[in-house]
Structure 1
Amino acid sequence: MRHIALASALALTLATPAVAEVACGGNFSSFVKGMKAEAVAQGHDKATVDRFFASVKHSPAAIKADRAQGVFKKSFIDFSRAVISQNRMDNGRHYAAKYKSVFDRIEREYGVSRGVLLAFWALETDYGQVQGNFNTLNSLMTLSHDCRRPELFQPQVFAALELFKHGDFDPATTVGAWAGEIGMVQMLPEDILSNGVDGDGDGHVLLKTSVPDALMSGGKMLQSLGWRAGEPWLQEITVPSNLDWSKTGLETKLTVSQWAQMGVAPRSGSLGAGSLPASVILPMGRHGPAFLAYPNFDVYFEWNQSFVYVTTAAYFATRLEGAPVYNAGNPDAGLNDSQMKQLQTKLQSRGYDVGKIDGILGARTRAAVQAEQARLGLPADAWPTAALLSKL
């Protein structure tokens, strides 16, 4: 659930990265010796450390995956339609009924609504069917040895050692995602240590094989990240054609009552409590789908930093709880990859920090687009078009 990196999205830096304890690079065997020495220095028994590292091997495949992360360039409509299949909707209803008692317990203890965890479960591993086939220890050790981000991965190795001592991790056979995430909701070893729950009462936290363990651990982790019990996270809305578009986007938060006074209305059901802070988000501009993002929406960005991925996951959760299919509207044509890079280059030349020129409409690019739209007298809905590119 919480990722150092995702195959389909951007790398996510942990909130408080640790310092790498062992020098990266050089001979891999020497690095393994250094990690073993550090483990012993941390107080682990030498015999246990030897057993834990006995089978470790360098994984060129993990390095290749790290270097070749897929860039996230699909629009919200294209991506959401691709991943929210009828099969996933049907399976979601099936598992919601099958594990009703588990979801009831999660809602009671952690305040996380079942649709949220069902959507995570579906998007992460197709309800546990596709959990990854990378040897977890090999991946973590390889990425710890690599000098790109050792401070992120080395603590995960020592956390996996703790799980090994608990009988919940097998260095030779535990497999998962290429960046070290494990189980049905794909959690990193440190997060399993902090938030792992023995949901089925067998004395172990086994996120690969136990649905109660995986779902309960996911619920506890979301709570630890700031999930607010009993509150919504995302809701489709209708917006008036004369809305002040410059107020849209995650940077602006007004109360639900203030948005309602400006003409924002729920497409179905009713809006959240009037005092709740919320943002109006327009994934594809003012002519596309529109949503009200509540405080719980921000928690999703601890899982993945891609705006489109997060919005899709949050919307999927509402669908699993009965919300209708969004109104796609008639969005203005977006930019292709070459045009997006050209736009980012132009924005950068005007002093905006858009990050890497990668063709991705990320948060910083959206903010820069909105600022330039406002400067040029265009509707400031943060959706880049050929007209904007031409004016720049």
Structure 2
Amino acid sequence: MRLPLIALCLAALPFSAQACGGSFPDFISGLKSEAIAKGHDGAKVNQFFAGVAQDSRVLKADRAQGVFQRPFLDFSKRLISADRLKRGISNAKKYDATFDRVEQTYGVDRGVLLAFWAFETDYGGFQGDFNTVNALVTLSHDCRRPELFRPQVFAALELYERGALDPRTTTGAWAGEIGMVQMLPRDILENGVDGDGDGKVSLKTSAVDALMSGGSMLKSLGWRAGEPWIQEVNVPGTFDWSQSGLKVVKPTSQWAAMGVEARSGALEKNLPAALILPQGHKGPAFLAYPNFNVYFEWNQSFTYVMTAAYFATRLQGAPVYDAGNPDPGLSGAQTKELQRKLQARGHDVGKVDGILGARTRAAVQTEQKRLGLPADAWPTPTLLSRL
């Protein structure tokens, strides 16, 4: 088929010239032309984009993620309630056969999927009321992360062509995720599983499909079957705290030799692990195994990842963490001030957003070591004043 001239010109443009911003109608025209250039049927493309609109609520939600500024102990108490734990255990029994299939097929423990199911949609109870296509197109047009969302628009178009998405009625999260475990269109294309055998992948209405698809996705992201993800540990008070953090990986035998002990049970044998201290050396401590890194492929927030990983262990019988008595942390405004000071010292902390992410924690640890403070990556008012 001979492509329209506009499609040929668009295909020749560099990505940055067409990626985001500008007139919204022109942006939609560019998406349509690119879709046709990719081989999609013109009539289907027009049907898919008919009536698509910007959603200001999506942009508001994207900018308002202050909940991730909360420290681990506060965040985990907010998300993990007795009721949520009870319903998780109940769902584990209700879908026992499905979890057995997930574990046998993909090697993903039931607690891991139960935790995601709980946090993402409260076990399917609230899956989001944002129009999925509008959300994806809005975030593609916005220039904050177009490289993430633009490909998802074309994946959603493919789902539409397969009869698996209605651009007018399909709803989900503000960032375009769909279903009980909140998967983006491309993830659905690559890892969607018809677990209940009805001939459709129904992530919004079938818990079996959603759980099997979530297991498939985690395996595709590198989940290692039969291995743990985190384990709570006790660490001696004389420990060299600069050895903590995700970048310092040692076999469990070395951690044991340094005095690290499992709080319950025994350390995993012959596995690499990192010691993480989500709220510094006076708070809870965990060994993070290779599967912990897979969590960051699902969500980039350290606080969310830490809480989801911990809740997964609770759902599988681990005791409540020893909260300890951490030093007071920083407010969101203070964390922004900290990030600016770290940037001024040459550290790459990413965006100044008041969120204690991996890069900010690494910079904090470097400065703590330089200043002779416990290098545990937990910023305190003392560190802020010293900087």
TM-score of the alignment, normalized to the shorter chain, above 0.5: yes
Q: 1:334 to 1:262 in 2, by over 3 A?
A: same
3-state SS in 2 of match to 1:72 = helix
Match of 2:304 among 290, 304, 309: 309
* Greater Cα offset, 154-163 or 115-124: 154-163
3-state SS in 2 of match to 1:236 = strand
Q: 1:157 to 1:357 in 2, by over 3 A?
A: closer
Q: 1:49 to 1:355 in 2, by over 3 A?
A: closer
Measured in 1, the distance between the counterparts of 2:43 and 2:222 equals 39
Amino acid at match of 2:155: A
Q: 1:172 to 1:245 in 2, by over 3 A?
A: same
Does the aligned pair in 2 maintain the 1:20–1:151 contact within 8 Å? no
Measured in 2, the distance between the counterparts of 1:296 and 1:318 equals 13
Q: 1:62: Cα distance to partner?
A: 2.0
Q: 1:97 to 1:84 in 2, by over 3 A?
A: same
How much is the aligned-residue C-alpha RMSD, in angstroms? 1.8
Amino acid at match of 2:164: D
CA deviation vs aligned residue, 1:123-177 (integer Å, no higher than 9, x gap): 0010011111110011112222334433322211111111112221111110011
Q: Which residue is 2:316 aligned to?
A: 321
Match of 1:271 among 261, 267, 272: 267
Structure ranking higher in helix proportion: 2
3-state SS in 2 of match to 1:170 = coil
Q: 1:229 to 1:174 in 2, by over 3 A?
A: same
Q: 1:145 to 1:306 in 2, by over 3 A?
A: closer
Measured in 2, the distance between the counterparts of 1:210 and 1:326 equals 33
Q: Give unmatched runs, 5+ long, in structure 1.
A: 1-17
Q: Which residue is 2:276 aligned to?
A: 281
Q: Give unmatched runs, 5+ long, in structure 2.
A: 1-13
3-state SS in 1 of match to 2:34 = helix
Q: Which residue is 1:108 aligned to?
A: 104
3-state SS in 1 of match to 2:231 = strand
Does the aligned pair in 2 maintain the 1:19–1:151 contact within 8 Å? no
* Count of residues in Structure 1 that have an aligned counterpart in Structure 2: 374
Measured in 2, the distance between the counterparts of 1:278 and 1:114 equals 22
Q: Which residue is 1:3 aligned to?
A: none
Is 1:93 equivalent to 2:93 in the alignment? no
Measured in 1, the distance between the counterparts of 2:131 and 2:264 equals 45
Q: Which residue is 2:157 aligned to?
A: 161
CA deviation vs aligned residue, 1:244-274 (integer Å, no higher than 9, x gap): 111011110000010011111111112112x
Structure with bigger RCO (C-alpha 8 Å, 6+ apart): 1
Q: Which residue is 1:299 aligned to?
A: 294
- For 1:53-64, what aligned pairs fall within 5 Å after superposition? 53-64=49-60
Q: 1:110: Cα distance to partner?
A: 0.3
Q: 1:54: Cα distance to partner?
A: 2.5
CA deviation vs aligned residue, 1:177-225 (integer Å, no higher than 9, x gap): 1111111111110111011111111111111111111111110110000
Measured in 1, the distance between the counterparts of 2:184 and 2:163 equals 16
TM-score (norm 1): 0.91
Q: Which residue is 2:7 aligned to?
A: none
Q: 1:360: Cα distance to partner?
A: 2.2
Q: Which residue is 2:348 aligned to?
A: 353
Does the aligned pair in 2 maintain the 1:106–1:219 contact within 8 Å? yes
Does the aligned pair in 2 maintain the 1:20–1:154 contact within 8 Å? no
Measured in 2, the distance between the counterparts of 1:282 and 1:147 equals 34
Does the aligned pair in 1 maintain the 2:19–2:147 contact within 8 Å? no
* Greater Cα offset, 38-47 or 156-165: 38-47
Q: Which residue is 1:6 aligned to?
A: none
Is 1:33 equivalent to 2:29 in the alignment? yes
Measured in 2, the distance between the counterparts of 1:142 and 1:345 equals 30
- For 1:155-234, what aligned pairs fall within 5 Å after superposition? 155-234=151-230
TM-score (norm 2): 0.92
* Greater Cα offset, 231-240 or 64-73: 64-73
* Greater Cα offset, 158-167 or 57-66: 57-66
3-state SS in 1 of match to 2:236 = coil
Q: Which residue is 2:8 aligned to?
A: none
3-state SS in 1 of match to 2:247 = coil
